Structure 1
């Protein structure tokens, strides 16, 4: 079992430390410390509400007493550039014999100083976002596929798509279903152990990479669950969303949404979810019939009663089962998915 220290300099909060937080939530026994000098002396639970007494320390040197063997970059520095402080911590970890796992757009294994030091210490630097080489071009194997695919889509970036996909996977497995998960971002890849950072793939090959991964994941599975990226209505990332949609050719979709959000991350109004559902169905119409099985809502900012009322409101309004999987568990959403697999 690995022993992760999470590097989150000035970024250990609920949103910025996305990769680190998911490790804390879903692989808590493997995380031994968080490095953030701005919040050192506190616990993870005090800052993000999960993680219990997991310590937050000021530097890798302070983390060494917890015996980490792998340093994970939990959040990307602004602009994806390795600043002096980050480099110092990375070198300290390498010198101590720690492997490095990075989800940054800049590949650490291409950094001469870091790579040379890593080779001297015989440790690995893993860039989760490095695309496959050679790339894969789509062959249309979805037309003969026997195992259904469920793609999680969202109303915006940072709307819980990875969490939704992982929760669905774990909960269906607990119901006895054979479910394989494909990560499409660094966090999903790290959690699930397979996948591709689809936004790092040359656009012509996005669909092909997804088709290739799905073909492999179908072996022995009842369902393949794919983590979504971006949103079809966010002009900065819709190209990635479209590549995923047509690469997966999913039989089923689940929508992830933050119910208090009315503007997207680019300050554009969010469309009505009913319209957004129809857009996805229309985009799939030339190829196959696709259906939405339900919705997962991020209600962590709402009181428990407001969250329950909101979930019921969305179920009535959109005629789909809804829940907050993290907060309230399966409700009807997991049953709705399990039913179509029988």
Structure 2
């Protein structure tokens, strides 16, 4: 079979690559089977390898300070918006970048709630220059699939990836666990639930916050059923959204209930003083979130992924030791340590 040639893409993340708002760019730098990422644009970030700047691991993806330089050096075909914003609006100044991309004949991909394809200015430029605009959330806006209960026929072990906050590493841990399990010879799949997962090319999933609520559970079940029918994976890692106790981004219950999970992992950031974007709301104690998740799912915590932001190496070491002693599960600084110990715990749930 001839491999699919991935189109060359640049990720525009002006002002945000070094912040949690750059999480779409971060996810695409770390992994994507849908695009060939050839550069990231952010004038506020240092020039260098985007992977090394992100997490110390070189990935051969340069950071550029301008669109013009990135275009000249990489010959891209696609322009991807790599930043998120509160309410999913187009970040300030990004309209100029989108217009620039379309004027240079680049297809545009956006995961925002604001649909670029429905903006007359952008739609007109796209038509004039023969470009496509893909609004990822729009793909799932009219997705209507009811819950059927057929999930009872699925033989995969299903693990929910939860967190104490948004933008804390739930998707990253999910991707890493799937890769780790596959390297061990296990058939594994990630069920994506957000727009970045779609951009990464995972074949099974839905964008939950783009859907009508009546069809959310059916969408999750449907993605799981499709994965089972297509691949028969031993393990499915279901990407979580938000947090069970987040007032602005509540999420997690839907994947536990609809996904009929067998266990869950939790991402926590001990050095984060307050919920992402909400200084008046302190971070919840992980024990509270774990207790709620156990009560709702009637399943056990499998492992904890530690987000080391704001912590020194010694503070990370102490935090891991404290969490392991308290919860009696493996705790790993995900992007530094990897996820081998959490994968070990998941394998214990497998039949063979």
Q: Does 1:26 align with 2:10?
A: no
- Tell me by how many angstroms 1:204 deviates: 1.7
Query: Could you tell me whether the CA contact under 8 Å between 1:44 and 1:55 is conserved in 2?
Result: yes
Moved more, 28-37 or 88-97: 28-37
- Aligned Cα RMSD in Å? 2.5
Query: Could you tell me whether the CA contact under 8 Å between 1:7 and 1:36 is conserved in 2?
Result: yes
Q: SS at 2:11's partner residue?
A: strand
Classify 1:42/1:61 alpha carbon distance in 2 versus 1 (closer, same or farther; 3 Å).
same
Q: Does 1:245 align with 2:288?
A: no
Q: Does 1:337 align with 2:342?
A: no
Instruction: Write the distance in 2 (CA, Å) between the matches of 1:262 and 1:280.
Output: 22
- Tell me by how many angstroms 1:68 deviates: 1.1
Q: Does 1:35 align with 2:44?
A: no
| Partner in structure 1 of residue 333 of structure 2 | 324
Query: Could you tell me whether the CA contact under 8 Å between 2:32 and 2:201 is conserved in 1?
Result: no
Q: Does 1:159 align with 2:138?
A: no
- Tell me by how many angstroms 1:12 deviates: 2.4
| Partner in structure 2 of residue 258 of structure 1 | 269
Query: Could you tell me whether the CA contact under 8 Å between 1:14 and 1:48 is conserved in 2?
Result: no
1:112-162 CA-to-partner distances (Å, cap 9, x unmatched) read: 222233233333211122225341121122333322211101111122111
Gaps of at least 5 residues in structure 2 are 1-5
**TM-score normalized by structure 2?**
0.86
| Partner in structure 1 of residue 122 of structure 2 | 114
Which among 97, 103, 112 is matched to residue 104 of structure 1? 112
Q: SS at 1:306's partner residue?
A: helix
Q: Does 1:135 align with 2:144?
A: yes
| Partner in structure 2 of residue 213 of structure 1 | 223
Instruction: Write the distance in 1 (CA, Å) between the matches of 2:215 and 2:234.
Output: 26
Instruction: Write the distance in 2 (CA, Å) between the matches of 1:19 and 1:291.
Output: 30
- Tell me by how many angstroms 1:23 deviates: 1.5
Moved more, 101-110 or 88-97: 88-97
Moved more, 100-109 or 129-138: 129-138
Moved more, 176-185 or 95-104: 95-104
Instruction: Write the distance in 2 (CA, Å) between the matches of 1:236 and 1:312.
Output: 31
1:191-240 CA-to-partner distances (Å, cap 9, x unmatched) read: 243322211211221111101111101232111111100111112222x4
Instruction: Write the distance in 2 (CA, Å) between the matches of 1:23 and 1:47.
Output: 14
Instruction: Write the distance in 2 (CA, Å) between the matches of 1:48 and 1:142.
Output: 38
Moved more, 165-174 or 185-194: 185-194
Instruction: Write the distance in 1 (CA, Å) between the matches of 2:303 and 2:59.
Output: 31
Regions of 4+ moved over 6 Å: none
Classify 1:46/1:174 alpha carbon distance in 2 versus 1 (closer, same or farther; 3 Å).
closer
- Tell me by how many angstroms 1:340 deviates: 1.4
Classify 1:270/1:56 alpha carbon distance in 2 versus 1 (closer, same or farther; 3 Å).
closer
Structure with bigger strand share is: 2
Which among 11, 14, 23 is matched to residue 9 of structure 1? 14
Query: Could you tell me whether the CA contact under 8 Å between 1:211 and 1:248 is conserved in 2?
Result: yes
| Partner in structure 1 of residue 132 of structure 2 | 124
Aligned length: 337
Moved more, 229-238 or 255-264: 255-264
Instruction: Write the distance in 1 (CA, Å) between the matches of 2:340 and 2:65.
Output: 41
Moved more, 178-187 or 111-120: 111-120
Classify 1:232/1:62 alpha carbon distance in 2 versus 1 (closer, same or farther; 3 Å).
same
| Partner in structure 2 of residue 186 of structure 1 | 195
